[in-house]
Structure 1
Amino acid sequence: MNTDTVIGDGSKQDVKDSGVVLAANHRFVEPVKAVKNITDMAIWEKSEAYMEYTGFIATLNEAVKSKPLSVDCKISDNVKKILTMLEKIEKLIDEYPPIEQPQRFGNAAFREWFGKLKSISTQLLAEALDDSVHLAIPEVKVYLEESFGNATRIDYGTGHEMSFIMFLCCIYKIGCLKQEDNVATVLFIFNKYINLVRTLQKTYRMEPAGSHGVWSLDDYQFVPFIWGSSQLIDQPKIYPPGKFLEEEVIAKYADEYLFISCIKHINEVKTGPFAEHSNQLWSISAVGSWTKINQGLIKMYKKEVLGKFPVIQHVMFGSLLPIRRFPLTH
């Protein structure tokens, strides 16, 4: 396979092992919504974007199989640049502390924070991405901006999480992240992102998007449970899987596994019996192996998130993640 990616201006960039080939006349576009009604869901599920996205989830799922967060893995300069960008986004929270207001949820200071993010997103990406792919910034920045919640409703949900993963997928497609970055993308970049959005959720008391997290395993997230359960495959320390409910296990391994970190977070923000406030996770604890849990979560994600119009109606499609049918006919 040709290992050159040709960016919109005709310049070439080496993207060995990434499998990415953009045409010489490739033109980046600002992503737009395309799933306007229920019948459009069939177009989405047969689209290039759907295949790219689900394939990306599966590829990174396999990459982190049996690997704790502390695993020794390559951290490239481009991974470091994206981590630096996320750190800058997180520091913005200090500039916009919650304001005194009567309502319990949805602190209006989030709108100020979000406005600031949008005003500097182009600059942040210009610093994080190679000069050779700066033509892609107007396209990829939409996914980045949509990754942190909705400023009107002051809510956050699986659609925003999906936007960040689409952002990462696009970064791979333009060649800034490569196959050798797969492990670090989950264990460093995605983990950093999850901690950042948890801070946003707590700081601004953000509402769960949708009907109180109905399309998720907790109120806000889903994918860390998928990649997190892959980390736990063939790990004897947390077996049988039901041990993830034990306080000692959570305390010992929350910093080693995304899945356990999610359980710890739920316990910190919820009160009452776990079986009541997190019934789906309680049910998962009875499954006999992490492999089965992982496979089941991927199926559940496709049905309960990717298959739900209220989520997908907000998804953006551009040149890198197009709504056109897959495979392309020539």
Structure 2
Amino acid sequence: MEPPPPPPPSSSTSTPTPSPFPHLTILTPSKTHPFEPPKKKITTGADLPHFLSSLAYRDLGIFILQLNHAMCPRKPSPSSTSTTTTPTSTSSQIRTFPLDARPAGEPTLVTRLRAVLQELERMIDDAPPEKGPRRFGNISFRRWHALLRERVDLLLGGCLLMLPGGVWEEWGPGGGGALEEVRAYFVGGFGSEQRLDYGTGHELSFLAFLGALWKLGLFFEGGVEGQGVGDGEVERHLVLGVFERYLQVVRRLILTYNLEPAGSHGVWGLDDHSFLPYIFGSAQLTRPITEAEPMPLEGSVPGAPRPSDVAKPSTVDLHRESNMYFSAIGFINDVKTGPFWEHSPILFDISGIKDGWGKINKGMIKMFNAEVLSKFPVVQHFQFGSLFSWDADPEAAVPAQTAHLANQPSNVKPAPAGSGPGTAAPWAQATKMPGAAAGVPPGPGIPYSRAPWTGGGSSAPTMPRGGAPDTGPPPPTAFPRGKLGTASNQFAVTKAPWAKD
């Protein structure tokens, strides 16, 4: 996948980073920065083309690719590897970034954000769930959310005010109008108290919260220059130290309050609630690269589990503490019963990829663009301010009118006739799906129930809701179970009985 084009030069942009790839712009502190209270802008499907050409869409894409690239294993640079180094010793020098071994030198803000997330988890004890069975979410979640809104300024404000060097105060007394913007994305990251649900739109809001703090330069004490911008270290702290901790809190909320999936495809979705751990988790297992190389499109790090191992509960239990992809699969196993191929057919299809985790990571980026950023039910609640702006990106391409994009509530307005090609989206080729028929414009979408990067389409077998093909032997009716309280308690045989090893 080609790297996205760099953002246009701006007077508010910091000193260029050493990385050859674009990074989310870091603004220069200024009391005159026009902060805006974030507001919803996407009210119908007709607003989607504008969003897909907006500065917010560009910045979200750049930030995801930036974090994704940072999580890829690193091989020794040529200057640090002698010509006499053996393959074995070279392999031993590869840097990987597991969950259970966070890198040293954690930024102060990362430490404080983890403390904030710990307090949010503790607040569950202040709003215990109502007793008794409930089909939908537990109404006590509304009490927890009320506590969140009541305490958010104290939690976030105190966290930011205590940053060394007065980094937060550089934006004005109390952060000026910045707190209002970052607060909106933070609160939006913990589900809906009205609908009692949680989904990928809320996950996107928390990503924007981290991106907003990045833009304000708050992870770099004492200024951006010379603070390692572009070497991936700070990004890895964000993913491993903050985002994974956020996922732990969210999973506790889902289990405690029985939150409904928001904007879910049901069994035909990748996951009921999350998407980003599959991107970052697959990046953790890709073929190693140097800092100057783009993300690999295929291959895996030496010793990585096979993609097909996600359908083996014992292997999931083994890797869920160190890898985000397997951690997400483990949570599915915790809350769902039955064969893996039946309750998670898309993930099961992906487990058959033969070209390694690099191929899966590439596909996950495409799928995120298609199934999260290009879907009205997901992005309709996203809020736009000055840090993630609704304004049009002057270098954005006009979104191609595809069947996928047109299949939105109220339909979307077609692209204007004669519109120029412009510049590609932040993920460049990630918006194009492989395997398109001749004469059909490539566009986002899931050719159910084939993984979107395997070239499936109309020739793919028809799959009913249960996940079993229309032909072939029926699945077994009984399976041995494993130890209670672990993912092994799922059916031991999780692959469809007709699948090949």
Q: TM-score, normalised by structure 1?
A: 0.91
Aligned pair 1:278/2:344, yes or no? yes
Query: Hey, what's the Cα distance between the residues in 2 that align with 1:223 and 1:150?
Result: 19
Residue from 391, 397, 413 that aligns with 1:324: 391
* 1:168 pairs with one of 210, 213, 216: 210
> How far has the Cα of 1:131 moved from its partner?
3.4
Identity across aligned pairs (percent)? 38
Q: Is the 8 A contact 1:118 1:145 kept in 2?
A: yes
Aligned 1:19-34 pairs, distance under 5 A: 19-22=25-28, 24=30, 25-34=32-41
Q: Does 1:131 align with 2:131?
A: no
Contact 2:199 2:264 in 1 (8 A): no
Q: Compute the displacement of 1:251 (Å).
A: 2.0
Question: Against the structure 1 CA distance between its residues 211 and 79, is the aligned structure 2 distance closer, same or farther, given a 3 Å change threshold?
Answer: closer
Q: In 2, Cα distance between the equivalents of 1:325 and 1:65?
A: 31
1:296 maps to what in 2?
A: 363
Counterpart in the other structure of 2:191: 149
Q: Is the 8 A contact 1:44 1:323 kept in 2?
A: yes
1:9 is aligned to none
SS of residue paired to 2:273? coil
1:133-181 Cα distance to aligned partner (Å, 9 max, x none)? 4221011101111111000111000000000001000010111125441
1:100 Cα offset (Å) = 2.0
Q: Deviations over 1:196-247 (max 9, x none)?
A: 0000000000111124557852110001000110001133333432123223
Distance 1:313 1:255, change over 3 A: same
Question: Quick one: distance in 1 between partners of 2:147 and 2:305?
Answer: 45
**CA-to-aligned-CA distance 1:29-60 (integer Å, 9 cap, x gap):** 11001112212111000100000001100000
1:259 aligns with 2:325: yes
Matched, 1:68 2:98: yes
Alignment of 1:104-123 (within 5 A): 104-123=135-154
User: In 2, are the aligned partners of 1:158 and 1:215 still within 8 Å (CA)?
Assistant: no
AA in 2 matched with 1:96: A
Looking at structure 2, the residues matched to 107 and 82 of structure 1 have their Cα atoms a distance apart, in angstroms, of 27
Checking the alignment, whether the CA contact within 8 Å between 1:238 and 1:249 is kept in structure 2 is: no
8 Å Cα contact 1:3-1:15 kept in structure 2: no
Whole-Å separation in 2 of the counterparts to 1:82 and 1:303: 30
Which structure has the larger Rg over C-alpha atoms? 2
The one-letter code of the counterpart of 2:348 is W
Structure 1 equivalent of residue 480 of structure 2: none
1:1-80 maps to which residues of 2 (within 5 A)? 19-22=25-28, 24=30, 25-66=32-73, 67-69=97-99, 70-80=101-111
* AA matched with 2:378: V
Secondary structure of the residue aligned to 1:293 is helix
Q: Give the deviation of 1:84 after TM superposition.
A: 1.0
Per the TM alignment, residue 253 of structure 1 is displaced from its structure 2 partner at its CA by 1.3
Q: Distance in 2 between matches of 1:176 and 1:241?
A: 37
Q: CA deviation at 1:120?
A: 1.1
The answer to whether residue 276 in structure 2 is matched with residue 223 in structure 1 is yes
Change (3 A) 1:80 1:242: same
Mean Cα displacement is larger for which, 34-43 or 265-274? 34-43
Please tell me whether the aligned partners of residues 81 and 128 of structure 1 are also in contact (alpha carbons under 8 angstroms). Answer: yes
- The unaligned stretches of length 5 or more in structure 2 are 1-8, 18-23, 74-96, 161-167, 221-228, 287-299, 397-501
Task: Tell me the amino acid that sits aligned with residue 296 of structure 1.
Answer: G
For the residues of structure 1 that align with 2:241 and 2:10, how far apart are their CA atoms? 26
Measured after TM superposition, the shift of residue 310 of structure 1 is 1.2
Deviates more, 1:214-223 or 1:117-126: 214-223
Higher relative contact order (CA 8 A, sep 6+): 1
Q: Which runs of 5+ in 1 are unaligned?
A: 7-13
In 2, Cα distance between equivalents of 1:41 and 1:91: 38
Q: Secondary structure at the match of 1:156?
A: strand
Deviation, 1:126, is: 0.8
1:3–1:20 Cα contact (<8 Å) kept: no
Distance 1:195 1:226, change over 3 A: same
| Post-superposition offset of 1:15 | 8.8
Distance 1:5 1:324 in 2: 17
Aligned residue pairs total 322
Q: Is the 8 A contact 1:79 1:181 kept in 2?
A: no
Instruction: Give the superposed CA RMSD.
Output: 2.4
Q: Which moved more, 1:231-240 or 1:102-111?
A: 231-240
Q: Deviations over 1:116-137 (max 9, x none)?
A: 1001111111112133342210
